[in-house]
Structure 1
Amino acid sequence: MRAFAYQELVIRHGGVILRTSEEYIDGPEERAKARSSETECWDFILEEYKKAANDLPESWANSDAGRLTKGAAYGMQARAALYAKRWDKAIEACEEVLKLDYTLLPGTSYESYYKIFTSVNNKELILPVYYEKGQNKKQHNFDTYFCPPFDSKPWTGGANNGAAATPSDEYASSFDIKVNGVYQAFDWDKLNVYGNKPFDNREPRFYASILYNGASWKGRTLQLYVDGDDGYMDFSTTGQDNVHRSTTGYIFRKFMSNDPEYNFTNVLSGQYWIEMRLAEIYLIRSEAYARKNEFEKAYADLKTIRDRVGLPQLEQKNNWSDYLTDLAKERICELGLEGHRYFDLIRWGIAVQTLNQKRLHGIKIEKKGNDFAYEKVECDTQDRLFPERYTIFPIPFSELQTNILCEQNDLWK
């Protein structure tokens, strides 16, 4: 846990102050202490994970299932090594995980793939965080904030919950579509080719990750169109907090509960969070191989991820730039909504070009008789601002005041 806490600090702020003595707690006279270098921080973090891996068991039985394991320590060490640009260490840690009793769940249908997120203690989970649904239990409010708006009507008398944030079309359109039996990149300009059915024949991860207009959900059909039960609203910067309508035409499905006992009052969400699962290990190892110019091995790991959901093997690229295009798409489709994308952009050095002076989009859907009309719309009222200094978090002003030896990051001076 100490390694994880420091890792979360370092990926945001760079080198931080290491206070790691196990003999005593720094006293008031040691309040002023300089930041360690990022290299020193990663050295410490990786060694902590190594010690944890040596101490922890491979698994826990019965009611102890879900506690930290050897696989969790090695898995987090692999992620840390990737961020630290220590490619050999990342590969080594991944291979330690792959020696253990984990496996990718079947995923050629979205129902089978979705079990990753609904089947407690399944064999793909490396580091899950469990909750317990029920009054006075360790539950949470994910569904209250993000469910399809009409879900709350039986309990509140109207669509008074949900859609606090919704998936962008940039995310939704990353998932391939099958045309004449062959998967290809999705393109809104090819609606006629798709028979005006943009949500049919998408790859399984689309259906396990996103709820869309016409999706079957809790015994009904979602109506994410203008004036539909779940509705749509044009994005604005005011008056939106209490409307509960999607501004993108989509709703989250990954981590959403379809449990009919959820009542938006005292029985809330009990779904588990996944901090790490086996698919990420293959993606980490693939990236580390590519950094070492071992592209055959890198694409072999991408093939493992794609085989699971029935997607064809990618043509091997032999340079980092082209490989990154393939890797980024796989990480979007496989790990979307699991907390990786922002930090991927930062560590790849492409956050500014991806986010600055850009706008995200959604799909406005209107019912036309028995069919629908689709319009791609902007979900920003102005271009987004993401200058270079946003690629690292500043040191809080209060910390600088408290600790005179702590210096601000150069981009924020």
Structure 2
Amino acid sequence: MMKNIQRLSVCALVAAGIIQGSCKKAYLQQPVLGALPSAAINTAAGVDGLLIGAYSALDGQQGTNTAFGGGGPWEAAADNWVYGSVAGGDAHKGSSGTDQPAINSIARFSVDASNGFLNSKWKADYEGITRCNNVIKASAAAKDMTDVAKTQAVAQARFLRGHYYFDLKKMFNNVPYVDETTTNFVQSNTTDIWPKIEDDFKFAYANLPEIQAQIGRVNKWAAAAYLAKSYLYEKKYTEADALFTTVITTGKNSAGVAYDLTANYFDNFNAATKNNKETVFAVQQAANDGTNTISEANNGDMLNYPYNSPFGCCGFFQPTLDLANSFRTDATGLPYLDDYNSHPVANDQGIASTSPFTLDAGNLDPRLDWTVGRRGIPFLDWGNHPGQGWIREQSSAGPYSAKKNVYFQATKGTYGDSHSWAPGNANQINIIRFADVLLMAAEVKAQLGTGDLGLAYVNRVRARAANPAGFVYTYKNAANPTGGYTTTPAAKYVVSQYPGGYFSGKALALRAIYFERKLELAMEGHRFFDISRWGIAQQSLATYFNVDGKVITDVKGASFTPNKNEYYPIPQAQIDLESDGKTSALKQNPGY
């Protein structure tokens, strides 16, 4: 991939519609296949087409059911469900123990450099980088663009390039850097790229507009939030604090609407309410677009629907017992920060759907039932989850189903896509949403020991969770789940804000903030990267392996090795590509 980094992504141009008049006879008078003259590229239309191509690479897919460079689309999914959530203890791989076995070693931290999933992810991000670099080069050569237009195109491309490199950095740490000026594409990976990532986001922040005419294009506040997130990962807390404060108090989405939390938590995972006031940066998806594929309908998550259900396929990405238990609340409505697994949520592991099961009657955070599909609770408007009947293999995957990636039955004709062998969904893929920003800002406050140590930001998130407008309610008629809901909550939802002064010190504040991120952002691909950068991965995963490993076979005996497993190995295929037969320009990560 690295040796081919400067190849032009012609498919991006075609997909973007840069070749005009496809219905005319002139369309038959084509240049050599696989090549376009620079005159067609170095124009305003060509630059915008390349830019659209750089955006389209965000989902890691080059076409129907294929990741860039080959492999299944789930190997390069934009939400990092394998690398961030399965590896982080949010979810089991799911399905059966023998299906997609490459995920097993990732979940158990026995992964090595030969794992093809890692190579797919690497290639997908570098494809995105290639496209961004092509935008920047073409902008410089375009004679029909004003300087302002060129700057706007470059600012978007540099934001996207910052994102792709951030994704690589948090996964592999040591990665080679190439930009639009690179001519020798055999580059080492021993130089820290954080300054380069910062530079891209700084340029984007300084030059992007607040409002974009087209949905999905990034604005200056998305760049500010991502730059602040970069500072947070680098532990530059003072810089992050100032920027997060600006984003929270002044920031707007690309439509010009001030950032805020939606009243209903699930509005962030419903295609009918996407691109709302909580959206900071999201990957756009579309269903039923006339192409009869699901290449734009989040096929990175196409495996992650209940098995033997109305969706047909495929039973992957099943929430863990440890995650579900985290949503237990005490008599006051606060979470059990340390011993949540001592207050487990009742589940139907090992119980047939035809056998009796008693629902949990204890206090719960309602975000549980928007995140975890569990027996007896409405699964959106598809009916009460039947339990084992929708699970392919409970013994290796547990009793739960993923929920945030699923579309509603009432709108499946609009937002669901069934043109392939597995479902697609038009909902956006959230990379950064405002709740995430609030919790990152809270973390910075706690690290600096300033103000109320982030209490107000955490409480803002918890206040939304406590809002009855965001509860899950029972059906008016369980036999007709699309017929509406009652005013009776589906479980005993009890959530409260932390009382004033609760964050009595940095240690307690950080524990509460870390836990709130686990709850709020569950199954969204963040968890592994969070616990790794916090330095608590071994402790957190040991708790998960102990609880789930007792009854679910996929992680029985699994273990995390500190100072090694915080990052994934550099794909061996990439090391080999950069080798002269004796040595490689790419150095393997420690421990692999």
After TM superposition, is the score higher than 0.5?
yes
Aligned equivalent of 2:284, options 130, 136, 155 = 130
1:309-328 matches, within 5 Å, as 309-310=465-466, 311-314=496-499, 316-328=502-514
- The 2-side partners of 1:406 and 1:132 are apart by 40
- Does residue 300 of the first structure (1) align with residue 463 of the second (2)? no
Please say if residues 169 and 360 of structure 1, whose CA atoms lie closer than 8 Å, have aligned partners that are also in contact.
no
AA matched with 2:222: A
What is the one-letter code of the residue matched to 1:230? W
Which residue identity is paired with 1:84?
A: E
* Whole-angstrom CA distance in 2 between matches of 1:358 and 1:212: 19
Read off the aligned partner of 1:49 and give its amino acid letter: F
For residues 50-69 of structure 1, give each alpha carbon's deviation from its aligned partner in whole angstroms, at most 9, with x where no partner exists.
101122111223xx111111
- 1:76 equivalenced with 2:226 (yes/no): yes
- Structure 2 residue corresponding to 1:54, chosen from 206, 229, 241: 206
What's the offset of the Cα at 1:307?
1.9
Query: What corresponds to 2:432 in structure 1?
Result: 276
Give the SS at the match of 1:309. Answer: helix
1:276 counterpart SS class: strand
Q: Note the C-alpha offset of 1:335.
A: 0.8
- Verify: 1:411 aligned to 2:590, yes or no: yes
* 1:346 positional shift: 0.8
Q: What does 1:50-199 align with in structure 2 at a 5 Å threshold?
A: 50-61=202-213, 64-98=214-248, 99-101=250-252, 102-107=258-263, 112-118=264-270, 119-134=273-288, 135-136=290-291, 138-141=296-299, 144-152=302-310, 160-177=312-329, 179=331, 182-183=333-334, 185=336, 189=343, 197-198=359-360
One-letter amino acid of the counterpart of residue 382, structure 1: K
Q: Are the equivalent residues in 1 in contact too, given 2:359–2:376 (CA < 8 A)? A: no
User: What is the rounded CA distance, in whole Å, between the counterparts of 1:406 and 1:319 in structure 2?
Assistant: 46
Q: 8 Å contact 2:319–2:402 — kept in the other structure?
A: yes
Secondary structure of 1:173's partner?
helix
Q: CA deviation at 1:14?
A: 2.5
Structure 2 counterpart of 1:115, one-letter code: D
Q: CA deviation at 1:173?
A: 1.3
Aligned-residue offset at 1:166? 0.3
Among residues 6, 17, 21, which one is paired with 2:176 in the alignment?
A: 17
Amino acid at match of 2:567: I
Rounded to whole Å, the distance in 2 between the matches of 1:123 and 1:248 is 35
Deviations 1:89-148 (A, max 9, x none): 2112212322122333344xxxx2211222122100011111111151622346752223
RMSD: 3.1
Contact 2:327 2:367 in 1 (8 A): yes
Partners of 2:417 and 2:196 in 1: how far apart? 46
Match of 2:395 in 1: 235
Question: Is 1:222 matched with 2:385?
Answer: yes
Farther-moved stretch of structure 1 (68-77 vs 302-311)? 302-311
Preserved contact between residue 356 and residue 385 of structure 1 (Cα < 8 Å): yes
Q: What residue in structure 2 maps to residue 377 of structure 1? A: 551
Task: Within 5 Å, give how 1:358-397 maps onto structure 2.
Answer: 359=545, 361=547, 377-380=551-554, 382-388=556-562, 389-397=564-572
2:183 paired residue among 4, 17, 26? 26
In the other structure, the counterpart of 2:518 is 332
Partners in 2 of 1:377 and 1:216 — Cα distance? 25
Q: Judging changes above 3 Å, is the alpha-carbon distance between structure 1 residues 291 and 219 closer, same or farther for their aligned structure 2 residues?
A: closer
Report if the CA contact (8 A) 1:361-1:379 is conserved.
no
Residue 397 of structure 1: CA displacement?
3.6
CA distance in 2, matches of 1:204, 1:390: 33
How far off its partner does 1:191 sit? 7.6
Give 1:332 deviation, angstroms: 0.8
Contact map agreement 1:399 1:406 (CA 8 A) in 2: no
The Cα offsets for residues 7-55 of structure 1, whole Å up to 9 and x where unpaired, read as: 22222233433333x4x4313xx63x443533xx212211210101122
- Pair 358,144 (structure 1): closer, same or farther in 2 beyond 3 Å: closer
- TM-score relative to the length of structure 1: 0.78
CA distance in 2, matches of 1:268, 1:190: 33
CA offset digits 1:305-353 (Å, max 9, x no partner): 2122222225533444333321121001111111110011111111123
Contact 2:297 2:417 in 1 (8 A): no
Q: Which amino acid aligns with 1:148?
A: P
SS of structure 2 residue aligned to 1:4: helix
The answer as to whether partners of 1:358 and 1:383 remain within 8 angstroms in 2 is no
Residues 210 and 43 of structure 1, relative CA distance in 2, 3 Å threshold: same
Question: Unaligned 5+ residue runs, structure 1?
Answer: 154-159, 237-246, 364-375
AA of the residue aligned to 1:146: N
Which residue of the partner structure matches residue 7 of structure 1?
Answer: 166
**TM-score, normalised via structure 2 length:** 0.56
Q: Distance in 2 between matches of 1:191 and 1:132?
A: 36
Contact 1:53–1:70 (Cα < 8 Å) also in 2: yes
> Deviation string for 1:356-390 (max 9, x for gaps)?
59626569xxxxxxxxxxxx833436311321211
- Asked whether 1:252 is paired with 2:399, we answer no
- Taking structure 1 as reference, are residues 341 and 44 closer, same or farther at Cα in structure 2, changes over 3 Å only? same
Match of 1:354 in 2: 540
Distance in 2 (CA, whole Å) between partners of 1:190 and 1:140 is 33
Question: Match of 1:209, as an amino acid?
Answer: T
Partner Cα separation in structure 2 for residue 207 and residue 103 of structure 1: 25
Question: How far has the Cα of 1:188 moved from its partner?
Answer: 6.2
Measured after TM superposition, the shift of residue 405 of structure 1 is 6.9
Aligned residues with identical type, % of pairs: 22
Contact 1:175 1:202 in 2 (8 A): yes
Number of corresponding residues: 366
